[in-house]
Structure 1
Amino acid sequence: MRRPAIAIAVLALVLAGCSDTSSDGGSGEGGTPTQDVTTSEQTGEPSPEPTDPESTQDPVDKPSVKIAQLPVGGGADGNCNSVNWLGGDVIRPGTTMKLGRPTFDPKHIFEVDQSACGGKRSCEGLEWTADSQDACSVGFKQVGTQGTVTLKVPAEVTCATQDDCDELKKKEGSQIQLTAVPPETPTEEPETPTEEPETPSEEPDTPPAESPAETPSGE
């Protein structure tokens, strides 16, 4: 009669062992739970963080143009000529014109001499925009003897659009002209030769000729 009791006890022990194995969650020996080890923990380096590419936009280059002769005008005060913008309202918002060094065409008749303007604002380096076209001055000196020249003021222009640059190119042309003054030649009066008064020549007094003595004829 004792065998069924022993069989029941052995079955209870087997069931208890199965229950312990399933409850440890795949633990290793001694009941210590196992841990998943990632690649970063094995190497000791942090895993690279995913980076989204930044959206960068290439800078948009504005159209530009070089103008050799701006539409300018002005008058001369001595050897200093004022320069004013005569192109109207074709300078659009967003357009900048940087003035260059003035020149004269043709050459060798006038040269730039800014000292002739004293402390007046030079044109070189001045910037004109849609809201500002300040007048400037160009000093000059005459180096030739004759001829007429045109004062040319160049500029490097950066435009908001290509159409703005095209409109500016249509306005080229300076209205400032200078004419050389021929140097004065002193007039010389012809020299009048001085005439010496004629001195009458004095002839020596000639004694009167003596008549030959008469010789008495013999009788």
Structure 2
Amino acid sequence: MSTDRIEGFFKNLMRVLRAGGKHQRLQRISVLFVASSDSVNEDFSKTVRENFSVAIRTLLADQKPEHTSNETNRWFEITSRGYLLSVISDMPRVNGAGTSSCQLIASAAYAEHAWGSRFDPHRTILANFYNNGTNPCKTHMVRCISYYRYCASKALSARCLVVPSMARNWHMLLLLPTDRRGVHAVEYRLDAEAFKQAVSSCREALVELSMPNIELESSVCLSEVLKRAGLADL
């Protein structure tokens, strides 16, 4: 796989992502499909595996490049709910032949960073928040009354509340400690089974929510990661 083809794909992908609006962010790459895994540059392979935990799978070259192009664009359109309409403009050919070159499809997850519940940052109160059970700290707490999926989990010593996002299939699960040992009590009890049980037990109810005024941020500088993999001029 030639570096310029990999570089061209991601250049186009990032250009379209930037045009999608400020709430559109590339969260992770879960799998890369390539025509031949043997042709993937070793440094590039190592970088994407370490930074994105991707699986690299072999994809047989399609005899109809336009078919692969259409399917790729359709996948991105569905995954991004219409934000990304044309990631691949045309399929490059090998030596002028009708077969597609080594084609990359980035199976990516997208999310809009806009939550379904809005909290007024000015309507907060100072209250105790227990992190370790012995030294409470004064924290700005937001309060609101609304309908949420909610349950009280004895297994986790926490109240579980689902805050929906505007992206519909992305949600934030809040675990609010009920034990005086605070966050550490939840960390000690939290495992995959308890987490799954808590989510499945949540039912919609009118809830008076009081929680720390937090701001969550998560980002990956994709261009820097790809530069470290040997792709220049991104």
TM-score, structure 1 normalization: 0.24
Structure holding more helix per residue: 2
TM-score, structure 2 normalization: 0.23
Q: Which structure: larger Rg?
A: 1
